[in-house]
Amino acid sequence: MIDAEVQQLEERVQRLIAAFRQARLEQKRALQERDRLLALNAELRRRIEGIVDRVRSLESESEHEA
């Protein structure tokens, strides 16, 4: 009887360990995806700011010519 209970506990511990490892792996992947998206967002922000600066420059040039 004790052996069966110990066996059940060992199986439960193994399942918990496996679930913990899976959760840790998923967290690592989520953090990597977050970092990738943050880098992409920063690059897009830089490009948009460059376009806005260029448009302002063109508007300024056209105002001086007019």
Give 66's pLDDT tier (boundaries 50, 70, 90): low
- pLDDT, position 61: 87
Q: Is the dihedral of CA 51, 53, 54, 59 positive or negative?
A: positive
DSSP codes, 41-66:
HHHHHHHHHHHHHHHHHHHHHHHHH-
Q: What is the pLDDT of residues 17-39, one digit of tens each?
A: 999 999 999 999 999 999 999 99
Q: Which of 12-21, 32-41, 56-65 has the lowest mean pLDDT?
A: 56-65
Is 6 a residue whose pLDDT tops 80? yes
